[in-house]
Structure 1
């Protein structure tokens, strides 16, 4: 439905924005000036301790100066409660006492028809509930009792029973004056093609109403009560009210809890969703037996930016996850993704809750894999990489999948991360081939590739910082991408470090077309050795007992605490400053040495300029170092992200 700007302006004029926002925040008394329509609070969209969220009642706008969120009355409701824009307008119009215009006659007829069908579904739900409570429902009540469902849960989800009869519901609704054609349109009756009378779609089944965002009954799910009954679960067909590809079971209950927790859990079946809800996990929804659609994905993101999809850990669950990936990739956007939790083999969420309780379920979801990791596992698990052609085929599969992403920023990040992860994999494969098939890390600590590298890499003052910068580039490719020009011109001292830097820059410079496998095959043995060593450092293979040589893990141990991305980037930029500062000091020393033999006015001016620049850069580096150390201290003390060895940034 379209709304005239004049109508929206009238709603805004009647409802102060601060009144709407105040339901979600607490105003800061020191900064807020109600008389001027000027309000400040901690942002409801991200975690912060000092108020940077501003509401201006005069302009009817809000803006967070921390995360950038901004909008008006309607945007605030859509962002904090998951409402659609029309739903937000309807709610605020009712609060403001503003009458909404009547829809056009055709739309009014459609809405009237839908309302009529919803009334019929409600009558059917009440009939099923009555049957469930009657003597006919003995077996159904015994079944739900065996499943451990409480009376409160049965009432909340309105469990019912469809009698094992061809026309029990049909006769009941006929007695209420409902025509057969309307029952068929509501999906409650089946009309045979051979001309026989219509009959009840649901017979001998435990009935669970499916409700829309308003809580209206629009369809049903029925579980057979017969030991060998098929299908085990039966849903209503597509109707003017019910579209499987857009709906999520329990969405109307889960929306608010999901927003409060900034989390959403997605399960495969509605019985699983009901079991989790009863256990106290209220931010749970279920798909309705179909593969995820684009509409469902977008709806889930209105609940939380990274919903956790729970699948059984068996082959069917993994297969379902893989199908979901192909639907998710095209609509990925900045800040929004999915996580995947594969439950122990043979268990569904209901089983897990019964055996290990809510804490056991939460432990499993806390170990959820990122979408990136699931994609990687999917492709690598079926890949044979023993020939250049097969390596190229793997790269192409990744390229084709990433090519479906519409958001250019997300696409770039996936290209970066996957190219670098592929480079690590191909480095290892190349080395195994060269070493006669030995596995990575087979050399004794201090010998083999490590010993060779120690002979080839000069231990200079810049060794650790150079190694740290390269390790961060490999683990966080976006840092190299954002600072490409600066990194590509860094004054590295060691030749092999320069070779690693140039190889990484070549991947970035020709990200979309350069095949990684071909690039790696062109490296000489010393470069392959040092790249292999860098890979070990970057992935942190402690079991290789080579940790003492790992610049990334030991010169920057705070990485173990998973610090925020902006902190990692700030530290990375500081390390670049340190390398450039060291180069500047060497340049000054060279100028001073030359001045001992020949000093003229030009040399003197250059020495003065270098001295001033050096003093300024030293001061900046010292300030950066202090700020990073303070942030590191807070990160270490913030549970649960604590560094294992209690140190911050050893090189700062």
Structure 2
């Protein structure tokens, strides 16, 4: 089993690599002060908003909302996994990627993956030899190029065809390709089916879906849940959608079937993906919104389709915020995406997407069907029906606009609608409403910590000016832990630049916070930044000092302080006295 790549090697690799050289080989850059700028490689912008910082060894794409280290850039631009990006940089630097021994969280399941890759090659070859399967695909309108893009194949109508091809059955059983018999031995799971490989975001085959060519009552059959494959966490066609273009995806269309994805792709609508025989899950939405800011749910226009759309809406409500969008496209009677795009073409299909109702429009429309808006009781009922759905949404502009629209329709005030959405917070209870006000208006302490972290990211050498770490630890300021950890890192690595810290914290909440802070342009000049940083550290240390003093005073009322604690409290009280 392959081990994880040591963190020390990644840090050394970043030190060996110049991000300007790597990106400059792919994007035309021009000098702009201390940075270099160019057109975004991820969008179709006409004025440059893509910047590369040699000092930070970071890139910032304000058009696409992306930023990160040279590793992040290769992952985004070259469609590489993290490991592949590291291996690419190592090859460029002329060094070998080491691996730590023993168990690792970075598991590469070579056996099952090899079995799945072998099965895909086998199914592709069998398709070439089976006229019936070829005729079925031709009748459905699938071209040879499209079949090659998706790796479509055929599973022979035998119980042992794949068994004979795969000489070691244990990995194929783990991968869900073969089934163990009760009395020993194995047999093929898929028989007489057109096979659709299901890939992960790295392009590896992790499962299959098969469409029967016989009279099997199960028209479509998916691989079972395995260590590699979970229906609720994977999407058919996502890898193909992401690799069809280097530009950012304008949206992703969620459809039901394999053939829907395949045919839309063939007509140039390469943004289609399909859930795998299950309803849309929160994990699906996480995958979707990692790839795009807009999700288009495509459903039949009948009652079953609208019920499925409503279930998708309930999953999407907590996920649609900030720049994220979600729309619901309903198909005309008798059509699925496959048949509709063949009948009316790609332009007309995309035009339907442009006219599709948004999440809030669909929500209000469906709830309004359950009431009589012409009556007082009906409008009151609408507000009550909307309450649980408002409760699922995050605070932000979309929720505010939905509240305003509900207020307009029900003729209530926006405050009344909000009050109904949060009945546990009494309207006249000032203490209960205070946390909400605090969340919407960051405190001075929060702003101070944020400014200190931003200054540190601009000039990591500032960490060497901080000596009161023990007092900072005592500070109650929100976000202080991120600041302390960043200071600790730059104390331990005095030659490190910002990219080293970002890479060290990759995949953590603190790392995500850094990404957001770095996306904001610095407000202060270098000189003002140092002064602001020093003042903030001093203020936070004083707050920590006061917190420690109060804690010791409180402890002295409940127990006898140790000799060391008494000396510490005495020193803290002495420091608090004003000078005479």
TM-score (norm 1): 0.58
In structure 2, list runs of 5 or more residues that go unmatched: 425-580
Q: How many residues align?
A: 422
Shift of 1:320: 1.9
Which residue of 2 is the match for residue 10 of structure 1? 12
Which residue of 2 is the match for residue 119 of structure 1? 114
Which residue of 2 is the match for residue 299 of structure 1? 287
Which residue of 1 is the match for residue 168 of structure 2? 178
Shift in CA distance, 345/124, structure 1 to aligned 2, threshold 3 Å = same
Question: Using the alignment, how far apart are the partners of 2:65 and 2:263 within structure 1?
Answer: 38
Show the 5 A alignment for 1:30-49: 31-32=31-32, 38-43=35-40, 49=46
Indicate which of 278, 291, 297 corresponds to 1:309: 297
Which residue of 2 is the match for residue 56 of structure 1? 53
Shift of 1:271: 1.1
Show the 5 A alignment for 1:202-213: 202-213=190-201
Shift of 1:48: 5.6
Conservation of the 8 A alpha-carbon contact between 2:42 and 2:247: no
Which residue of 2 is the match for residue 233 of structure 1? 220
Shift in CA distance, 80/327, structure 1 to aligned 2, threshold 3 Å = farther
Conservation of the 8 A alpha-carbon contact between 2:44 and 2:247: no
> What does the per-residue CA deviation read over 1:308-347, in whole Å, with 9 as the maximum and x for residues that have no partner?
2322333332222211111122233321232222222221
Conservation of the 8 A alpha-carbon contact between 2:80 and 2:202: no
Show the 5 A alignment for 1:453-492: none
Question: Using the alignment, how far apart are the partners of 2:121 and 2:61 within structure 1?
Answer: 47
Indicate which of 270, 274, 285 corresponds to 1:286: 274
| SS in structure 2 of the partner of residue 285 of structure 1 | strand
Shift of 1:21: 3.5
Question: Using the alignment, how far apart are the partners of 1:382 and 1:96 within structure 2?
Answer: 65
| SS in structure 2 of the partner of residue 340 of structure 1 | strand
Conservation of the 8 A alpha-carbon contact between 2:203 and 2:239: yes
Question: Using the alignment, how far apart are the partners of 1:303 and 1:171 within structure 2?
Answer: 39
| SS in structure 2 of the partner of residue 338 of structure 1 | strand
Question: Using the alignment, how far apart are the partners of 2:48 and 2:124 within structure 1?
Answer: 50
Shift in CA distance, 93/512, structure 1 to aligned 2, threshold 3 Å = farther
> What does the per-residue CA deviation read over 1:373-407, in whole Å, with 9 as the maximum and x for residues that have no partner?
222223223345577666444323322222223x4
Which residue of 2 is the match for residue 19 of structure 1? 21
Show the 5 A alignment for 1:377-456: 377-384=365-372, 391-405=379-393, 407-409=394-396, 413-414=398-399, 416-427=400-411
Shift of 1:278: 1.6
Which residue of 2 is the match for residue 526 of structure 1? none
| SS in structure 2 of the partner of residue 408 of structure 1 | coil
Shift of 1:288: 1.4
Which is higher, the Rg of structure 1 or of structure 2? 1
Indicate which of 355, 359, 365 corresponds to 1:371: 359
Shift in CA distance, 317/85, structure 1 to aligned 2, threshold 3 Å = farther
Conservation of the 8 A alpha-carbon contact between 2:150 and 2:197: yes
Question: Using the alignment, how far apart are the partners of 2:254 and 2:140 within structure 1?
Answer: 20
Shift of 1:59: 2.2
Shift in CA distance, 218/390, structure 1 to aligned 2, threshold 3 Å = same
Show the 5 A alignment for 1:189-588: 189-192=178-181, 194-195=182-183, 197-226=185-214, 228-257=215-244, 260-263=247-250, 264-384=252-372, 391-405=379-393, 407-409=394-396, 413-414=398-399, 416-427=400-411
Conservation of the 8 A alpha-carbon contact between 2:298 and 2:330: yes
User: Is the helix fraction higher in 1 or 2?
Assistant: 1
> What does the per-residue CA deviation read over 1:443-469, in whole Å, with 9 as the maximum and x for residues that have no partner?
xxxxxxxxxxxxxxxxxxxxxxxxxxx
Question: Using the alignment, how far apart are the partners of 1:333 and 1:323 within structure 2?
Answer: 18
Shift of 1:57: 1.1
Conservation of the 8 A alpha-carbon contact between 1:258 and 1:304: no
Which residue of 2 is the match for residue 610 of structure 1? none
Question: Using the alignment, how far apart are the partners of 1:231 and 1:68 within structure 2?
Answer: 44
Shift in CA distance, 65/265, structure 1 to aligned 2, threshold 3 Å = closer
Question: Using the alignment, how far apart are the partners of 2:331 and 2:11 within structure 1?
Answer: 50
> What does the per-residue CA deviation read over 1:101-141, in whole Å, with 9 as the maximum and x for residues that have no partner?
41442239952xx211111122222222232222xx22211
Question: Using the alignment, how far apart are the partners of 1:131 and 1:157 within structure 2?
Answer: 15
Shift of 1:144: 0.8
Conservation of the 8 A alpha-carbon contact between 1:258 and 1:283: no
Indicate which of 154, 169, 173 corresponds to 2:162: 169
Shift of 1:70: 4.4
1:132 aligns with 2:127: yes
Question: Using the alignment, how far apart are the partners of 1:123 and 1:49 within structure 2?
Answer: 45
| SS in structure 1 of the partner of residue 208 of structure 2 | strand
> What does the per-residue CA deviation read over 1:199-258, in whole Å, with 9 as the maximum and x for residues that have no partner?
2211221112222233322211110112x4221110100112222222222222221446
Which residue of 2 is the match for residue 455 of structure 1? none
> What does the per-residue CA deviation read over 1:532-584, in whole Å, with 9 as the maximum and x for residues that have no partner?
xxxxxxxxxxxxxxxxxxxxxxxxxxxxxxxxxxxxxxxxxxxxxxxxxxxxx
In structure 1, list runs of 5 or more residues that go unmatched: 428-502, 516-652
TM-score (norm 2): 0.64
Conservation of the 8 A alpha-carbon contact between 1:208 and 1:220: yes
Conservation of the 8 A alpha-carbon contact between 1:507 and 1:514: no
Question: Using the alignment, how far apart are the partners of 2:292 and 2:305 within structure 1?
Answer: 22
Tell me how large the CA RMSD over aligned residues is.
3.4
| SS in structure 2 of the partner of residue 207 of structure 1 | strand
Shift in CA distance, 506/201, structure 1 to aligned 2, threshold 3 Å = closer
Question: Using the alignment, how far apart are the partners of 1:235 and 1:289 within structure 2?
Answer: 8
Which residue of 2 is the match for residue 106 of structure 1? 103
Conservation of the 8 A alpha-carbon contact between 1:26 and 1:41: yes
